Amino acid sequence: MRIAIIHTVGSPCRCAEALAGGLIALGHEPLLVNSEEVEFHASSLAGSCDLVIDHTDTYHGKGLFRPLVRLLLEAKGARIVGSSAHACLAADDKAGAKRRLAAAGIPTPPGIIVASQEFTVPEWLTPPFVIKTAFEHMSRCISRVNTVEEASRQALKLLDDLSQPVIIERYIPGRELAVSVLDGPEGLEVLPPLEWLTEDRGSFLTEEFKLQEQTADSKNFLQSELPANLADMLRPLAKLAFETLGLRDYARFDVRLSPAGTFFFLEANTTPSLEPYEAMATSAGWAGMSYPELVNRMLNSALKRYKGKPLQKNTLLAIGLSTGPVEIETPDGIHPPTPSSIALAQILDIRPGENVLDLGCGSGILSIAAAKLGAGIVISTDLNPEALDATLANALRNNVEKKVRVAAGSWYETLDTPLFASIGINKFDVIIATPPQTPGPRPFGPRYGGQDGTEHIFSVIEGVGRFLKPESGRMWLIAISLANTRAVFDRLRSFFYEVDVVKETERNFTREEYEALEPGLFDHFLGLREKGVADFKEVGHGGYIFRNLFIRSGKLRPL
């Protein structure tokens, strides 16, 4: 598998390097990506990587923004190892996470949230205090103070410097534990806790401490030895915290065990360090897992979630035309050529040297068919940039790149631009269009064609007079009988002397297919059929058929 690792450049990259080594040991192909460039790479990562491991520390310099990295990846369809962007934000929002954990019965240090310059430390909140920002991590900007006055000054300073809420909470003395949770085939597993050792056991882990590289000889941690009753108490609490925050696959909690024997959950970390001698991997080792086995557990947990949702790959079709076979590659998000488009490509009457306009080119099958038939220049238009890129790529794949030009725009709009003027074509010999024409009560997606399906078809027909040669020019159009074909023919005949149905094919469909696009859509079809607008028939066993009409129109009437 090809697996991307997103990491923050400028912070220690040991974690990303360790992950890459673990993936290589498992036979996978790692790809390291700078989180600061994720906007540019999210689409390609979603389409080319089986999984993505996001271990961003800060994004554009702020811990507050790091869930955006995962959100950008998810928006493009990337398959994430670990928690979702929403869960990452919930965990990184220390104030919100404290409220959710406390509501679930999980002890957290009592405290207050400071969100403005006007606040008062209540009487019930007594020193010593821990002062920290609501969204930073790695112990950045954290301090311990011993008086209310110190707490107020430090909170106001952080509020002013970082422009984010500040938490003032009761300092909990005791033992500092790193509690790692890992999903697996038998559910959540709480790994043996690691106990951090600082010079002052009453202190806390500073940013400097956390940035130290842990090695096999490190002396600042040990496997925590908890009495059986406390260990039995910690495991269900850790699992409950994991579930309460909606986490996935793996996470680590910073936990304080107070002298009275209470576990206080301080923070949740959805991107714990995965270096071989850091807390997560060390705890996994104590549980009998090697480092590659730990990484494999993380991957398998994610793969189980995405089972039945295969990585979207480009679709490659070999299509036979009268001029010979062509190959059309279609990226995710662009519909591959439909049987009706392929059928139209096989009957086009393009003559050598004729100039062609393909309105709504999709992945380019009709443009390439026209070029293969000898067209001089083919102008391919579409609103979708990915469709234009696909058409260019397919023109190159089929050796007609010198004939095919693409332009972004809706129907004829792009022809009123300097780009079109520079080509020097005033009128086209052939215009081809297969516009969306599925009728519906309201817009529901890219196949929507208006109430009776004619909205886009009429736009195509009504612009033809400006751009088609009047005597020899032809328009090729596909109309489906779910739409108001009677109105389509009336409109065509008002523009052309010759309007002929050259070919018909049938298209099978079910109620469920269209109800999945928009609830109530099939009932809309039935209503149109009752009015004599739509034409389709039942064929038994819940199936229906409508017709594809391949219409060739010529000899424009005077405008």
pLDDT at position 217, please?
66
Q: What is the DSSP letter of 536?
A: E
Say whether pTM exceeds 0.85.
no
Rounded Cα distance, 207 and 136, in Å: 11
Rounded Cα distance, 192 and 222, in Å: 11
pLDDT at position 8, please?
83
| Parts of the chain with a pLDDT under 50 | 12, 201-202
Query: What domains lie within the chain, and their CATH numbers?
Result: 2-83 (3.40.50.1370), 89-305 (3.30.470.20), 315-556 (3.40.50.150)
Tens of pLDDT, residue by residue over 238-259, are: 999 999 999 999 999 999 999 9
Task: Identify the residue whose tokens are 């424009």.
Answer: 556
- Establish whether the linkage from the previous residue to 128 is cis, with ω within 30° of 0: yes
Rg, C-alpha atoms of the chain: 32
Q: Which amino acid is at 128?
A: P
pLDDT at position 59, please?
79
Rounded Cα distance, 259 and 453, in Å: 73
Backbone angles phi, psi at 172, to 5 degrees: -105, 110
Strands (E) in 415-485, as ranges, are 430-433, 474-480
CA 314 to each of CA 25, 44, 46, 49, 152: distance values in angstroms, whole numbers, following the listed order: 28, 11, 12, 13, 58
Q: Please check whether residue 472 is in contact with residue 429, taking contact to mean a CB–CB distance below 8 angstroms.
A: yes
Tens of pLDDT, residue by residue over 398-446, are: 999 999 999 888 889 888 766 666 777 889 999 999 999 999 999 998 8
